[in-house]
Structure 1
Amino acid sequence: MLWALRDIVKKYRPKSLTETKGFKEERIVQAKIPMISFVRLGNCSLSKSEILNKLLRAIDGSKLRLQIEQMTSIAHELGVDVDENCPESQNARQNANAITAEIEDILKFKETQLPMQGQIWKAVTSLEKEECRLRKENLRSKQNSYGISESMNSFLSAISGSERCYFLKWLRTNLDNLSREKLSWLREQYKEKSKAFNNSEIKEIDKQLSNSSLGTEHFFREMGQIYEASVTLPESDLSRQQLQHLPRLCAQLLIDGFPLELVDGDASNVPLRWVSDVLAQLNKLVSPNNKILVVTVLGVQSTGKSTLLNTMFGVQFAVSSGRCTRVKVSEDMKTNLNCDFLVIVDTEGLKSPELAQLDDCHEHDNELATLVVGLSDITIINIAMENSTEMKDILQIVVHAFLRMKEIGKKPKCQFVHQNVSDVSAHEKNLRDRKLLLQQLNEMTQAAAKMERKEENKSFTDVMDYDPDTGNWYIPGLWNGSPPMAPVNAGYSESVYELKKNVIQLLKNCESSANDILEFRGWITSLWSAVKHENFIFSFRNSLVADAYTRLCTEYNKWEWEFKKAMYTWSTNAETKISNVGVVGGNIVIDEVFTSLKTEAQTELCKWETTLLHNLTEYFKQTEGHVHLVERYREEFFNSAKILRREIESSVISQLTATAEIKKGMETVDRVKEDHTKHLEERVCALVEECRKKKCSMMDQELDLEFNKMWETTVTNLKTSVCLQKTKTYLH
């Protein structure tokens, strides 16, 4: 029993933490708790309440506290077998302890022992969207330079042996204990710093809280990155050849019931080569061309998604242990569903507090939602009543994304599960709410279709297969009362069982034929490729925000064009004024006109900038067109208007300056031309007068000779004069 009890984690509040409203979270086998033995010797005449009071008094009076783990030695002395004392379990425990014993600081351990999934992998993720092949190759080379750490070598060696199931459970237990201790300490620090309002330290602790989770998924993630980096090496490279067995090893673990991470929750990326090769090996292991159907669950964080799947299908997805997206091969369903395997996909919680502070949190959630819905034959939308609005935002983006991505070729089925609704009449009472939900989703679909010019999609059901009468399920809470002592609600299991029967029936009636594993692999690749390059729509909270933003951009572009057009017209007229300035006064007149026009330009720029800012202010005051949804972009557009004014100002002043300089240059050329013409005329007249004084007739050849001689002398002198003027100009 000890082996089974190790998975039970309880949160409770001891009396010492009542005033501070703190709590403890630990595994039940490691908690120091009172031990009570019940021995029945005959009929009992005491009432239940009296027995309970006597027990509570006995507990308060006794200081003896034991850990269930500590009872193993006593059990051994009494001849009781302890299940986890078998050699396989103990060897696996030693291997797990060898890895976790060296962990003193989780952050440093991840940096030194699991380096490939850190900043380099996140950088690769961003470059994949930008298609920067050369920079990606450089980052992969950097990953290869790390080699395989000592901890990863121990991990790979342990999961390659026959004791891997024991090893992974021991490792998960040890890592959860370490993370729990670290997170508990950080929460206490956060509480203390919050009282002191020390924002810088709070921000640092907040960052550590996000990065201090460490589980087996991080080791598998590192394993995938080691493989992805290795395939960039030449095929003849020894390091690459030594790692070719990793996909088959992971596929075997998948068959054994361990989940495979599809999407890296930290980097928001799919390691496509790793996932593809694992699925290819899985296809070989389970015999080729096996048909599969896919069921996914999608919902906001902490709404009971993993618990729902665990209850429905008997799988063991981690509950409350961090963020990850996983897939698991379920039992053979060939007879009932006309397929060989059922693939169950669990997703990380959307709208998680850890991601809410990031600028791209909407993009992360929307990409994840679109991917899992696109992969599934049936999507279970898990909704808690307090966050149904956030879930509708996600669905709107999914619908919008499906309209935009041509690669999507199927129509997923949807089932809405409303958690924590115990009233048996909930289905009837919530008829109006269901109609309202569908109406809102229809409006969002129409808005998205209009933006994409696909007006033939007029309702939510045109994009997703959903029936408001049969597609909604109301499930009571898992617990009767408040944990940790609350019993499990039997109504929860019954409601989930009814949901499961409906899901199985929907899969039976599924019109589309099941894909095989290789087709599923290709579907992941094409769908993720489409999601990666659809950046615009994913950055918005929902389709209405995207539509409102597009409208704002359209209006702003119109005002920007009017501003530019008006200043272009004014600039053209100003340049004409400068070009038409007379010679009177020379450069002094041009400078006066130029200064006057610069002042006039500033006045004109201020007028149009004021008009643009006024238009923006009035636009944001509107009550129509969902303007309130883009309020967060107000400052961005006001800053754009100011930047636009500076850009136009710089352009206009540059054009005026260039025109004035050209005008000054042309006037200088005209003066030089006039002076040279006058000088040449004087020289010709002097030559004529000189010939006249000689009173001798000259032949045409002699006249030509004298003229050419005078011309060359005069032109040479003029050239020298021009050069001297240029030199003086440069010196000044």
Structure 2
Amino acid sequence: MASVTEDLEMQRHGSGSLQQNVQQHRGSLHAFLHTLGLAEYFPNKILTLRSLQEIKKDSLSDKKDDSLQAIPWAFLRKLLMANTKSRTLDCASENEETNDWFSESNIDISPNTLDLIVALYACADSFLQQEMTLKMSMCQFAVPFLLPCGIQNQCTLMLWALRGVLKEWCPHSMSKSKGFVEESVVCAKIPLVSFVRLRNCSLSKSQVINHLLSESQQHHDFFCHRDMKGGCRPRMIANGMVEMCWYLPGGNTAIDIFPEPVAIANLRGDVGAFETQFAFLTQVSKAMFVFLDKFEEREQKMLVSSQQLNSKLFFVVNYQRDTHPDVKSSIQAVMEALKLTKEDIIVKSQNINMAKLTDMICSTIRKSLSEPSPSLDIESMSRIACEFGISVDELTSKASSSAEQAAQNIIKGIGVREIVVYKKNQLPLQGENWKRLAQIEKEECRLQTAGDTKLEDYKAELQQEKKIIQKTQSKYKITSAMSGFINAVTTNDSIERAFFLKWLGYKLDMRSRKCLSSLRHAFKEHCRQKDKESLAKVDQQLLDSSLGLEHYLREMGHIYEASLGSSKRLDELPKVAAELLQEGFPLELLDGDASSIPEKWINDVLMELHRMVGQKSRLLVLTVLGVQSTGKSTLLNTMFGVQFAVSSGRCTRGAYMLLLTVGEDLRTELSCDYILLIDTEGLKSPDLVQLDNSYEHDNQLATFVIGLSDITIINVAMENFTEMKDILQITVHAFLRMKEIGKKPICHFVHQNVAGVSAHNKLMTERQHLLEHLNEMTQIAATMEKKRGISKFTDVLDYDVELNHWYNTSFMVWHSSNGTC
């Protein structure tokens, strides 16, 4: 391992040819992967997200890592749960129990954090890379933009890995009343500001950037730096990596650091050893800051040669008392060659502290942003990267290219204002006939609108109308869009299918966001006016204008059900849906638009799944209930590292199920083979609360999902007790109905936005008050349901006032008031 470090030290100082440096880096990568026990995953990139989602004893353990080989898995588990401390690597030494602080064997041997990240990206497949990037962004970590040389002897631009990252901001040019901008970071034209260093500059640019992006009262380490645990160890393979993070204004001119969004790039290592990355960054950056102690002749030539590129260069000189006397003359030579002024030189002298330095850099950045030169999006940068010989992850995958084309063919011709027409023409089976059919099936159970008609005659009328609708549904021919969709998802290539579903989801979300923005603004206006008719109309427009991946999967289910009554049965479709569940894709369980379940479709999908797993399909079902937009989907994603849709321009509607495998070492203990997660739409939805049937809708939803569940998590916000009481009343009714059928589920309460880490100990009184309210609501609900002998909440379900409460100081990932992400 020592020889590897020496080789990389030579590369860092620019010695040897470029080819030698590349070969040294590859050798170092292989050696490092072998040390971490990851060699089997490289270069085939077979480390997958699905393999990490399996519920095993190791994945539930919080014990200190006892070997280098355990560190990568511990890091990934924490990262997938969006743990902001996941970068803190801690490897226990073999001699730890001796308490001998001075023993050589008691030295922390954890790797450099950046080396670990590069190693995992080198071993991960495209989808795990994408999920790692998303979770790092959620934790406000800088994410890989350019990875160092890998299998193809060239660095790689992570375009595909960045596609899943959405950001929201309010530029000062747009008032808050008009709403925020929400866009994918690869499509947004956000100006890029880059930071690089010459040789071993004694001033840490990562620490400077962290201070620059942080408010004075809320410091955050966006970039790893030498003073962080795991950041001070020598880097072995991360030199040459470019990381990126974003500053996003919140629309408050008093506290926003920059009036517009800014992307920050940071090149690791000596820029003199990575001229390709430097040349690329100078081409795509609005401004570039070069940190240095002094110039050497080689660096002077390199910088002079860069003057024909697009970026504006600024030099941050760490000028101390012991600085070499030739520094002034070398800086003067470069200034003359590049035609720089004194404004282009920022001198960090001993009497300038970090706050003053960051103010000077901020001022320079603002001035650069005010210049009217166009900014590039990352998609455009990827085309420039190819000109510099930089690989692009998205372009190297044939499966991704063909999948994108298939997705584009399906949605071509959809304009922003044409989604309603498109859905009517291409997804007809989930239209008015399906919604009417759902109403009939509910009415067959309730018989509430029979009027003066005899019940038997009324039932016959409903049955007759139902048959007519079903016959009409069965006559529909498969549209061109659904034909392309079914062909794409029935492919035998599971990787191409996964790429297709990702691409289609991204393209649909992009269109829906643009259309839904104006409708949501109109909905807010009607809410202020309390116009119920207009609210209902706009709410229907919101439903009609929403178009996502779930609509195509829903249509596939309707096509299957319609084929059951014809000679052209499509029996392969449930198998496809079962395979998608096995691969980790959520499947719609309850249609949120019609509030109905395609019973035959869901039953056949689950039966097919039962056969596929060899009839080992014991399930533990877990559901989350709560108010809309309180982070229910994010809670499940964080707990289990899964991918329920969040922040896609629309809230969850209906209910979705997702399957997790339980490891062999836990199946006996948990008495199940799989955990089925159910994500639901929010109760007390602002979109529905203005409508007359919103309370009935919430009751039906709660009863349905609680009836399916073994464990129910009630997600509540501590700051709104009235809202919490409404939710509890809804859920108590549902639990009471479960008792009637002999089911007694387990309930946990997750309290969000609780101040203080000692909340559980200090809020005992509040928990007792909550139990009193629960008992009171249980008595009221029991009276309404005409159930005797029920006086306490614990009569309805298993509940412990101490063990069934969880407190989060801020479950959602921390966001500062200025929107920095």
Q: Please state which band the TM-score falls in when normalised by the shorter chain.
A: 0.5 to 0.7
Indicate how the Cα distance of structure 1 residues 201 and 270 shifts in structure 2: closer, same or farther if over 3 A, else same. closer
Deviations 1:206-230 (A, max 9, x none): 5323421110001111111111222
Letter in 1 for 2:412: A
Report the Cα offset of residue 453 of structure 1. Answer: 4.3
C-alpha distance in structure 1 between counterparts of 2:529 and 2:733, whole Å: 45
Q: 2:196 aligns with which of 19, 27, 39?
A: 39
Counterparts of 1:130-141 in structure 2, within 5 Å, are: 130-131=443-444, 132-141=462-471
Indicate how the Cα distance of structure 1 residues 261 and 387 shifts in structure 2: closer, same or farther if over 3 A, else same. farther
C-alpha distance in structure 2 between counterparts of 1:325 and 1:58, whole Å: 48
C-alpha distance in structure 1 between counterparts of 2:572 and 2:176, whole Å: 55
After TM superposition, what 4+ stretches of structure 1 lie above 4 angstroms from structure 2?
187-206, 404-407
Letter in 1 for 2:432: Q
Aligned equivalent of 2:816 = 482
Q: Percent identity at matched positions?
A: 51
Aligned equivalent of 1:254 = 581
Quick check: 1:52 aligned with 2:337? no
C-alpha distance in structure 2 between counterparts of 1:306 and 1:193, whole Å: 28
Aligned equivalent of 1:109 = 422
Report the Cα offset of residue 202 of structure 1. Answer: 7.2
Aligned equivalent of 1:239 = 568
Quick check: 1:415 aligned with 2:748? yes
1:296·1:378 contact (CA, 8 Å) conserved in 2?
yes
Deviations 1:473-529 (A, max 9, x none): 111222334367445xxxxxxxxxxxxxxxxxxxxxxxxxxxxxxxxxxxxxxxxxx
Quick check: 1:296 aligned with 2:606? no
Indicate how the Cα distance of structure 1 residues 464 and 200 shifts in structure 2: closer, same or farther if over 3 A, else same. closer
Indicate how the Cα distance of structure 1 residues 378 and 403 shifts in structure 2: closer, same or farther if over 3 A, else same. closer
Instruction: Give the TM-score normalised by the residue count of structure 2.
Output: 0.56
Aligned equivalent of 1:144 = 474
1:10·1:484 contact (CA, 8 Å) conserved in 2?
no
Indicate how the Cα distance of structure 1 residues 364 and 333 shifts in structure 2: closer, same or farther if over 3 A, else same. farther
Deviations 1:72-130 (A, max 9, x none): 11111222221111111011101111111121211111111111112111111111123
2:769 alignment partner, SS class: helix
Residue segments in structure 1 that go unaligned for 5+ positions in a row: 488-732
Q: 1:399 aligns with which of 727, 732, 740?
A: 732
Aligned equivalent of 1:264 = 591
C-alpha distance in structure 2 between counterparts of 1:248 and 1:286, whole Å: 12
Report the Cα offset of residue 63 of structure 1. Answer: 2.6
Aligned residues, how many? Answer: 481
C-alpha distance in structure 1 between counterparts of 2:645 and 2:817, whole Å: 19
Report the Cα offset of residue 16 of structure 1. Answer: 0.9
C-alpha distance in structure 1 between counterparts of 2:604 and 2:802, whole Å: 42
C-alpha distance in structure 2 between counterparts of 1:285 and 1:271, whole Å: 21
1:39 alignment partner, SS class: strand
Q: 2:487 aligns with which of 131, 138, 157?
A: 157
Quick check: 1:7 aligned with 2:164? yes
Letter in 2 for 1:399: V
Letter in 2 for 1:60: S
Aligned equivalent of 2:722 = 389
Counterparts of 1:475-514 in structure 2, within 5 Å, are: 475-477=808-810, 478-482=812-816, 485-486=819-820
Q: 1:68 aligns with which of 378, 400, 418?
A: 378
Name whichever structure is richer in strand by fraction: 2
1:383·1:416 contact (CA, 8 Å) conserved in 2?
yes
Report the Cα offset of residue 465 of structure 1. Answer: 1.3
C-alpha distance in structure 2 between counterparts of 1:475 and 1:462, whole Å: 28
C-alpha distance in structure 2 between counterparts of 1:296 and 1:26, whole Å: 30
Deviations 1:397-439 (A, max 9, x none): 4433444567632211111011122411322332222111111
Aligned equivalent of 1:326 = 656
Deviations 1:435-470 (A, max 9, x none): 111111111212232344433222111112111112
C-alpha distance in structure 2 between counterparts of 1:19 and 1:364, whole Å: 32
Report the Cα offset of residue 170 of structure 1. Answer: 0.6
1:479·1:486 contact (CA, 8 Å) conserved in 2?
no
Report the Cα offset of residue 183 of structure 1. Answer: 1.4
Indicate how the Cα distance of structure 1 residues 190 and 438 shifts in structure 2: closer, same or farther if over 3 A, else same. closer
Q: 1:18 aligns with which of 175, 181, 195?
A: 175
Quick check: 1:87 aligned with 2:416? no
C-alpha distance in structure 2 between counterparts of 1:179 and 1:224, whole Å: 22
| Greater relative contact order (Cα < 8 A, sep 6+) | 2
Aligned equivalent of 1:708 = none
Q: 1:351 aligns with which of 684, 689, 692?
A: 684
C-alpha distance in structure 2 between counterparts of 1:72 and 1:114, whole Å: 35
C-alpha distance in structure 2 between counterparts of 1:170 and 1:116, whole Å: 24
Letter in 1 for 2:747: C
C-alpha distance in structure 2 between counterparts of 1:119 and 1:416, whole Å: 38
Letter in 2 for 1:126: Q
1:442·1:459 contact (CA, 8 Å) conserved in 2?
yes
Report the Cα offset of residue 386 of structure 1. Answer: 4.1
C-alpha distance in structure 2 between counterparts of 1:185 and 1:447, whole Å: 42
1:420·1:475 contact (CA, 8 Å) conserved in 2?
yes
Deviations 1:323-380 (A, max 9, x none): 2311111132342223211111111111212222332211211111112112112111
Deviations 1:544-598 (A, max 9, x none): xxxxxxxxxxxxxxxxxxxxxxxxxxxxxxxxxxxxxxxxxxxxxxxxxxxxxxx
Aligned equivalent of 2:797 = 464
2:183 alignment partner, SS class: strand
Letter in 2 for 1:102: G
C-alpha distance in structure 2 between counterparts of 1:435 and 1:92, whole Å: 55
Aligned equivalent of 2:611 = 284
Indicate how the Cα distance of structure 1 residues 224 and 351 shifts in structure 2: closer, same or farther if over 3 A, else same. same
Aligned CA-pair RMSD = 2.5
2:422 alignment partner, SS class: helix
2:706·2:734 contact (CA, 8 Å) conserved in 1?
no
Residue segments in structure 2 that go unaligned for 5+ positions in a row: 1-157, 204-317, 319-347, 349-353, 445-461
Quick check: 1:379 aligned with 2:709? no
1:297 alignment partner, SS class: strand
Indicate how the Cα distance of structure 1 residues 434 and 201 shifts in structure 2: closer, same or farther if over 3 A, else same. closer
Letter in 2 for 1:118: G
C-alpha distance in structure 1 between counterparts of 2:747 and 2:534, whole Å: 44
Letter in 2 for 1:295: L
Instruction: Give the TM-score normalised by the residue count of structure 1.
Output: 0.62
Report the Cα offset of residue 184 of structure 1. Answer: 2.2
C-alpha distance in structure 2 between counterparts of 1:191 and 1:17, whole Å: 18
Letter in 2 for 1:299: G
C-alpha distance in structure 1 between counterparts of 2:476 and 2:724, whole Å: 41
Report the Cα offset of residue 26 of structure 1. Answer: 0.9
Report the Cα offset of residue 191 of structure 1. Answer: 7.3
Aligned equivalent of 1:308 = 635
Indicate how the Cα distance of structure 1 residues 287 and 171 shifts in structure 2: closer, same or farther if over 3 A, else same. same
